[in-house]
Amino acid sequence: MTDELRVHLHYTMRGSYPLRLIDVFFCTERAYFVEYDYLTPVDLMFGSPDQRAAAFASQVVEEGVPAALETAEAVETQPYDALDSVHIHSGGRIGRPKITARPRTGDATTVRVHGQFDTEPFTQALRSTVDGHDVTVRQRDGIGF
């Protein structure tokens, strides 16, 4: 794989029931939304999301992005040439940060961050990653409905 990993957004979720665990890889030419597990209320009750997210992050570090993509349950790929914008919402005081990738055509992809997240450095790293592509990165305070 020649598409080098630049930013790894770890431990995000989307969906309602069951919730799906997703990591987002922002590489040099595209973003990968990598679904690697799903969660039931029992999982949430016993704290297994943290363990599963940590195990997947370890796999990415130890085996690399290609291995993580191979073992994923689903992968959504968004090439930067087809991506219009990425919106980053801080989550405000009561919400979780939210990331939305909006392609020029088709549906947007949204995830909520459940792991450690610092909005400013993430935004700067993402802007640097998509530099040279016609992708707008917007950062906003608040929940982001």
DSSP letters of the chain?
Answer: --S-EEEEEEEEEE-SSSEEEEEEEEESSEEEEEEEEEE-HHHHHTTHHHHHHHHHHHHHHHH-HHHHHHH-SEEEEEEGGGEEEEEEE--TTTS--EEEEEESSS--EEEEE-S---HHHHHHHHHHHHTTSS-EEEEE-S---
pLDDT band at 2 (very low <50, low <70, confident <90, very high): low
The pLDDT of residue 72 is above 80: yes
pLDDT digits (tens, 9 = 90+) for 15-48: 877 888 999 999 999 999 999 988 877 777 777 7
pLDDT at 42: 75
**For a pLDDT cut of 90, what percent of the chain falls above it?**
61
Given a contact cutoff of 8 angstroms between Cβ atoms, the answer to whether 33 and 44 are in contact is no
Class level of CATH domain 5-140: mainly beta
pLDDT band at 1 (very low <50, low <70, confident <90, very high): low
pLDDT band at 145 (very low <50, low <70, confident <90, very high): low
pTM (global) more than 0.85: yes
Could you state, in order of their start, the residue ranges of all structural domains in the chain?
5-140
Given a contact cutoff of 8 angstroms between Cβ atoms, the answer to whether 32 and 69 are in contact is yes
The torsion of the CA quartet 40, 43, 44, 46, rounded to 10 degrees, works out to 160
Tokens 């020029």: give the residue. 104
Segment of 88-92, 98-102, 138-142 carrying the highest mean pLDDT? 98-102
Of 16-20, 40-44, 75-79, 91-95, the range with the lowest mean pLDDT is: 40-44
Dihedral over Cα of 118, 119, 121, 125: its sign:
positive
